[in-house]
């Protein structure tokens, strides 16, 4: 019945508003649409609203948190697959959530809007209005314009405004990169920042059956389309499409029929990458001396010398202008880690010097150092899944007070940075980095949720014996007595960017 009424109203509208016989008089004709629409660059929250991991605005499953009036964010992309509004993917630019990426909702109905859209000069973008007057202000003129006799004024307004609202976002699509299926990206936003869901998340959902492969959309290449159906509290469903890169790591865990479909399509449509496994140099920037090795798809003992040369050159870069010996300037050194190293080099440096300073004294064996690397990687992935899409292992390592070796009063960060390649802890940290690439972790099904550990001689208030984990690396257990670290899974914490990264 609702559909019949809606159809009647839309028919009435299209016949009367846009047919010549009942065209509005000059005094009430809407202003001509500008050739180019203003692309929203920022949003500003005007009322408390939800902030979500995906462009689905019901329930709590994808809730990242709450945004408050005054919070501001940069617009990354827009999703128009909603009937009563649109979703904006944004990166927060103010307050403690700075750098976090997520989705906010912008309703068609002005009374339900909790954000406002801003242009590049911070002016509020007014949504196009069908007339200079609203129903109720001059009912005779309004009725002449809408032609909807006998229809409640608020329903008339919603229909006309909805149409204008949709038209605005159709025009906006022409100004942005159209990703298809109602998804539009701001130009110039790197894909790794604006991607709609991480490959890992998508493959996890494929493996649990929450997403289905959609081969009709597949046109060759390494990225495959998957669809997910969301159902809101009122029972309305929307379908969203996600693209994920196929790799052996993920293919082993998915249902047989999907794996077969991907394998056969890959053979037909996929041109192998020229440098398989090598990170995109445009995203990474230049390599420092000897660091091309970090781009290799696999690392083994034969790469030790190259990694050693690379680590030496990275440390030299970190110390540029930062002093030497015991008088290294911590601010300068930490800033250099970001400004002089590309993101893969940042990861390598963070892994090696953190394992040096935190667990070098416990090696050999190397497993304690490798487990420190695993915690860094887990923290990075936690941060990325919470919307800090550009977070890396260095961001995790330098978060204040987390890894004690980086405290300003602790000597270990200096030792780790200035030690050369003959230092046994440095040697062990490079060996551990190679071992880390080839390690199978077990001992708990929640090993990917180990974000916390402490030495056996401290007693933090967050420790929880029920969450203790005894990690097993390549079948080898870590020490359970004496000098060691005690690891915990899933202790609540919040990631935040440090002040040296500029992120």
In angstroms, the CA 112 to CA 95 distance is 24
Stretch that binds other proteins, among 11-19, 58-66, 155-163, 271-279 (CB under 8 A): 58-66
Nearer CB in complex with other proteins: 278/491: 491
Q: Which is nearer to other proteins, 233 or 268 (CB)?
A: 233
Render 133-197 in DSSP notation, one character per residue: S-TTTSHHHHHHHH--TTS-HHHHHHHHHHHHHHHHHHHHHHHSEEEETTEEE-TT--HHHH-SS
Q: Distance of CA 65 to CAs 58, 60, 97, 493, 496, Å?
A: 13, 9, 10, 14, 14
Is residue 64 involved in binding other proteins (CB under 8 A)? yes
Nearer to other proteins, 299 or 341 (CB): 341
Candidate list 288, 346, 402, 432; residue touching other proteins; CB under 8 A: 402
- Segment contacting other proteins (CB under 8 A): 170-178, 276-284, 387-395, 408-416? 408-416
CB atoms within 10 A of CB 294: 23
CA distance 252 to 321: 48
Choose between 96 and 277: whose C-beta lies nearer to other proteins.
96
- Does residue 393 touch other proteins according to CB under 8 A? no
Point out which span in 16-24, 57-65, 298-306, 440-448 binds other proteins (CB under 8 A).
57-65
CA distance 372 to 415: 17
Residue 420: CB minimum distance to other proteins, A: 24
Q: Given candidates 39, 71, 169, 388, which one binds other proteins under the rule CB under 8 A? A: 71
Question: Minimum CB separation from other proteins for residue 336, in Å?
Answer: 13
Contacts with 144 (C-beta within 8 Å, 6 or more apart), sequence order: 22, 24, 25, 28
DSSP letters for 40-64:
P-EEEE-S-EEEESSS--SSSTTEE
Contact between 499 and other proteins by CB under 8 A: the answer reads: yes
Task: Tell the smallest beta-carbon distance from residue 70 to other proteins (Å).
Answer: 3
Place of tokens 């047989």: 256
- Residue from 6, 48, 297, 316 in contact with other proteins (CB under 8 A): 48
In sequence order, what DSSP letters do the residues of 254-309 get, joined into one string?
Answer: S-HHHHHHHHHHHHHHPPPPTTTT---HHHH-PPPTTGGGGGSSS--GGGHHHHHH
Cα–Cα distances (Å) from 85 to 7, 173, 372, in that order, read 20, 15, 45
Q: How many helices (H) and strands (E) does the chain have?
A: 15, 18
Site for other proteins in 238-267 (CB under 8 A): none
Rounded distance between C-alpha atoms, residue 170 and residue 470, angstroms: 54
Cross-strand pairs, 107: 85
Q: Which is nearer to other proteins, 145 or 453 (CB)?
A: 453
DSSP state of 124: B
Please tell me whether residue 358 binds other proteins under the rule CB under 8 A: yes
293 binds other proteins per the rule CB under 8 A: no
Q: Per-residue contact track with other proteins, 466 to 485, x per CB under 8 A?
A: -------------------x
Q: Does the protein bind other proteins through residue 493 (CB under 8 A)? A: yes
Q: Total binding residues for other proteins by CB under 8 A?
A: 47
Residue 365 preceded by cis peptide, ω within 30: yes
Q: Does 38 bind other proteins (CB under 8 A)?
A: no
Q: Which of 450, 485, 271, 459 is nearest to 362 (CA)?
A: 485
Contact window for other proteins (CB under 8 A) among 6-14, 30-38, 88-96, 213-221: 88-96
CB of 189 to other proteins, least distance (A): 24
Residues 425-464 that bind other proteins (CB under 8 A): 452-455, 457-462
Q: Can you tell me which of 27, 68, 280, 474 binds other proteins, judged by CB under 8 A?
A: 68
What mask, x for binding other proteins by CB under 8 A, covers residues 297 to 336? ----------------------------------x--x--
Contact 222, 263 (CB under 8 A): no
Choose which of 118, 161, 405, 450 interacts with other proteins (CB under 8 A): 405
**CB 78 to other proteins: min, Å:** 24
Q: According to the binding rule CB under 8 A, does residue 403 interact with other proteins?
A: yes
- Check residue 492 for interaction with other proteins (CB under 8 A): yes
Greatest distance between any 2 Cα atoms in the chain: 91
CA 433 from centroid of its chain's CA atoms:
26
Range in contact with other proteins (rule: CB under 8 A) among 131-139, 166-174, 242-250, 401-409: 401-409
- Residues of this chain that interact with other proteins (CB under 8 A) are 48, 60, 63-66, 68-71, 94-97, 331, 334, 358, 400-405, 407-410, 452-455, 457-462, 485, 491-496, 498-500
């Amino acid at each position: 019945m609702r559909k019949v009424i809606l159809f009647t109203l839309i028919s009435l509208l299209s016949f009367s508003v846009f047919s010549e016989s009942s065209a509005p008089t000059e005094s009430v004709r809407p202003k001509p649409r500008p050739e180019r629409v203003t692309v929203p660059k920022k949003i500003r929250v005007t009322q408390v609203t939800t902030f979500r991991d995906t462009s689905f605005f019901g329930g709590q499953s994808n809730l990242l948190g709450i945004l408050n009036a005054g919070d501001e964010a940069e617009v990354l992309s827009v999703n128009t697959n909603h009937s009563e509004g649109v979703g904006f993917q944004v990166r927060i630019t103010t307050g403690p959530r700075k750098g976090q990426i997520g989705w906010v909702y912008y309703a068609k109905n002005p009374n339900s809007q909790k954000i406002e859209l801003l242009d590049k000069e911070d002016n509020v973008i007014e949504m196009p209005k069908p007339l200079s007057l609203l129903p109720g202000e001059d009912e005779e003129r309004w009725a002449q314009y809408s032609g909807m006799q006998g229809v409640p004024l608020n329903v008339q307004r919603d229909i006309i405004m909805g149409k204008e609202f949709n038209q605005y976002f159709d025009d906006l699509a022409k100004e942005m990169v159209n990703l298809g299926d109602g998804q539009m990206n701001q130009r110039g936003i790197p894909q790794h920042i604006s991607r709609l869901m991480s490959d890992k998340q998508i493959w996890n959902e494929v493996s649990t059956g929450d997403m289905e492969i959609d081969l009709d959309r597949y046109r060759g290449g390494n990225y495959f389309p998957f669809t997910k159906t969301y159902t809101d509290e009122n029972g309305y469903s929307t379908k969203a499409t996600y693209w994920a890169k196929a790799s052996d790591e993920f293919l082993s865990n998915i249902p047989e029929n999907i794996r077969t479909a991907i394998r056969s399509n890959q053979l037909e449509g996929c041109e192998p990458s020229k440098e398989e496994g090598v990170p995109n140099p445009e995203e990474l920037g230049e390599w420092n001396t000897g660091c091309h090795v970090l781009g290799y798809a696999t690392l083994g003992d034969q790469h030790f010398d190259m990694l050693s040369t690379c680590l030496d050159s990275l440390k030299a870069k970190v110390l540029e202008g930062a002093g030497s010996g015991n008088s290294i300037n911590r601010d300068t050194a930490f800033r250099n880690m970001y400004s002089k190293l590309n993101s893969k080099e940042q990861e390598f440096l963070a892994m090696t010097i953190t394992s040096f300073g935190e667990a070098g004294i416990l090696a050999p064996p190397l497993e304690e150092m490798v487990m420190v690397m695993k915690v860094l990687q887990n923290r990075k992935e936690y941060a990325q899944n919470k919307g800090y899409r550009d977070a890396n292992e260095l961001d995790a390592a330098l978060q204040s007070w987390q890894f004690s070796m980086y405290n300003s009063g602790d000597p270990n960060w200096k030792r780790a940075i200035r030690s050369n390649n003959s230092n046994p802890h440095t040697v062990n940290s490079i060996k551990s980095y190679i071992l880390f690439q080839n390690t199978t972790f077990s001992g708990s099904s929640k090993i990917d949720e180990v974000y916390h550990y402490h030495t056996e001689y401290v007693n933090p208030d967050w420790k929880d014996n029920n969450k203790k984990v005894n990690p097993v690396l390549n079948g080898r257990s870590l020490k359970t007595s004496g000098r060691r670290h005690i690891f915990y899974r899933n202790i609540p914490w919040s990631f935040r960017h440090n002040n040296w990264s500029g992120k």
